[in-house]
Structure 1
């Protein structure tokens, strides 16, 4: 069995919490750290939520608090209409915790962990890309020491999929487009798992109900935390929840469930397209431009949605990955 050593960079977040439990239960995963960023809540809230999840589910893993604002400007307001005021679907949370955060800032934790285990660490980033950009700014050499980077973010226009904050931009990218563009300039192997595939995979109510009935404490938590999230989707005309962050974990565990396209990736940082992710496919030629001399990265263009759902279900219910 291949063991993946993972740092989970996250802004919990309903779907972030569901993805964290996916990582926690997958026998192929060695979770070596959680780093937090702003996004679905303030940095104080997302760090509290990460510590709460670690404490509640007995995860022996450090949590390092990260950036509270983007590289440029101020953060967007948290989307409490999607994730609730406490970002975990407004479930009841304790007033205080016994678990404390690692004293290092998230970007320093990433640097130290990668340098301690060169070519072994996978970064699974499902929030703003600020921590990754700060780590690169402080220590650019880590790009050559990371095993891979898997990002839930972006929308590449496959089959007409657009952004979910603006017609051009997905939330994690528009939350700090400068950081996203910077990390795409680095020569580490990045795979974008964007809305093009995450919106193709749904978890309907009866699926989530089965997890609640059969999945023990984790399954019941997934049901509870997703009630607010599901109501948001249904109010918007989507009958079941999209599988965003857990799709990035699924790519790590079963990349065969996805089809990808390679090419240099840029992120727009100005105007009405701010936050748009645009790939120059390796198979196409263009006149000289802003994508030249940029490394080639992967973007997911299709997914086996049924296979992904079964992978998640099997992992939560049994802790075993089905072949």
Structure 2
């Protein structure tokens, strides 16, 4: 399947939404794609980690045919979100992690997806020297998998994630950028999740705008959703709306519902041409999708203007 997105702008090659957590019932995914296509989105990010398509590191052939049939019905480009628990700092399960990514890359190939999202690693916080060992393990695994991705014509997008507390090691956004730059493979790019960067920077007392500036030159994919950047000072909520009311955590809200200054950011940063943008907005905000898409188109225009000035 053709992997070129419809041209949303000179810099942002496609704007769209994620399909949300699945249940294994692919008719639910199909309804999401139909809605996104009707809205005029360019791309959809398929949340294939929750669709029961991979078992023990192998693609289930009896289910992949149905997925391919569905995706071909819509004039959308595709990206794929890999496992949410993806972790190349997981020494015990690293062989299983890599096998699962190989299967996800095969799925990307079957549906014509241009990008596979992969979460940056997590490990128990120990000494700085031990953290260097898990950093090196992650880089080696990413380099290996990027070469596999080259064979499929897919880019792995390494996403910055926040830690839940001081006992958990996560690379900062700028360190994720350094990992991508150090590997230097054409089939590996950084994924800026702006809200994740906001949360982790507040948690660690970092300048979050400087952190995302460090990621922009090596980015190739963006996750856009709103929050207040407040770390998890509490984690027990009886309904997601309670977390939103308190403004705590990774809220995945419509643009403008938090306090991220989107227009300022997109007027400031220069992304590589061909970067894709996905709004990771949860299903319960479905009525807000048209307004979010319109605003995202405006952000893409700002990225064009910034690139033109930089040129």
TM over 0.5: no
Q: TM-score range by the shorter chain?
A: 0.3 to 0.5
With structure 2 as the length reference, what TM-score do the two structures score?
A: 0.35
More helix by share: 2
Q: TM-score, normalised by structure 1?
A: 0.34
